[in-house]
Structure 1
Amino acid sequence: MGNVVETIMNIEFFPFEQFPMAALLEIESACHPFPWTEAVLSGCQGQGYDFVVAAIKGKPIGYYITHRVLDEATLMNICVHPNHQGKGYGGQLLQNALERLKRHSITHCFLEVRASNKGAGALYQKLGFLLIDKRKGYYRTNGEREDALVMSLQLQ
């Protein structure tokens, strides 16, 4: 597999174009109760976007998407296939994203996380993200809507 962006431990990072969209949609569907569509994922390319896939031995296990505007960025999506969760790969993905943002001179990174996603919230806090706001009813659920916690990290 060509065009490796970076390697950390046993994970290699690639531009998303290196993989079939079907493989990325499979990860998305396995990770989210209301997954993004192919059109939404495909729309996350071009100027200001980083769509990076993490793979082990050439098999995608997760990805992240960031969007940069001026000196700020938003972590739009990050996920690790459930078969690979709990092994530190999410932290490695996030670290890779933050390092790439720093190389683009980004000073602040923002994200939203479901209030019920305690694991992700703990990871973000561990890496220095601070809770700055709450968006009531932001996420769809099977019944009621769920709040989003808005978090921010100063990078430089």
Structure 2
Amino acid sequence: MKSNIKLVPLAGEHLKQVQQIEKQAHSHPWSESLIADINSRGAFHHVMIVDEQVVGYFYAQNIVGEVTLLNIAVNPSCQGSGYGKWLLESFIDLCSANRAESIWLEVRQSNNRAINLYNDAGFNEVDRRVDYYPSANGKEDAIIMSYIIF
């Protein structure tokens, strides 16, 4: 992993790179209109920049100290290099610095790499939404996870 990494608020100039990563990284990517909605209620969206290129991003919503991680991804060509861990840890640090009390997310049950990353970071499974996500074989559960900040 390179040492010249920075986390900056998502801006319009990042959208094209974010859309490209979104399409490559997710089996069911967000629409371009969702990606472009950078000023949504409680917007807490950031990009990870390496060598002036967007390598990863997260979309989150901060509503009265409860943060929901809506979307997170690292360019597939950069996965396995520690960028996901750096991005998630930076996200948690940013939530703490903004006095959030908790973080919530949901993840596809088949996304073992993400589940392991979240578990390693201190998230706990709290519930499931049965048959929530579309999948190649029908539907799959969403695992709801939380992280308490004190």
Pair in the same fold by TM > 0.5:
yes
| Alignment size in residue pairs | 149
Q: CA deviation at 1:19?
A: 2.8
1:16-55 matches, cutoff 5 A: 16-17=10-11, 19-55=13-49
Work out whether 1:105 is the aligned partner of 2:99. Answer: yes
Q: Deviations over 1:66-118 (max 9, x none)?
A: 10111211111110011000011011111111111112211110000110111
Segments of structure 2 that go 5 or more residues without pairing to the other structure are none
Q: CA deviation at 1:34?
A: 1.0
Please give the secondary structure, in 1, of the residue aligned with 2:77.
Answer: helix
Q: TM-score, normalised by structure 1?
A: 0.89
Q: CA deviation at 1:46?
A: 4.5
Q: Deviations over 1:20-48 (max 9, x none)?
A: 42211000000001100111112242452
Work out whether 1:154 is the aligned partner of 2:137. Answer: no
Work out whether 1:14 is the aligned partner of 2:19. Answer: no
1:81-100 matches, cutoff 5 A: 81-100=75-94
Q: CA deviation at 1:9?
A: 3.0
Contact 1:66 1:97 survives alignment (8 Å):
no
Q: CA deviation at 1:15?
A: 2.0
2:128 corresponds in structure 1 to 134
CA RMSD of aligned residues (A): 1.5
Q: CA deviation at 1:18?
A: 5.8
Contact 1:62 1:80 survives alignment (8 Å):
yes
Share of identical aligned residues, percent? 32
Q: TM-score, normalised by structure 2?
A: 0.93
- Write the distance in 2 (CA, Å) between the matches of 1:12 and 1:62: 11
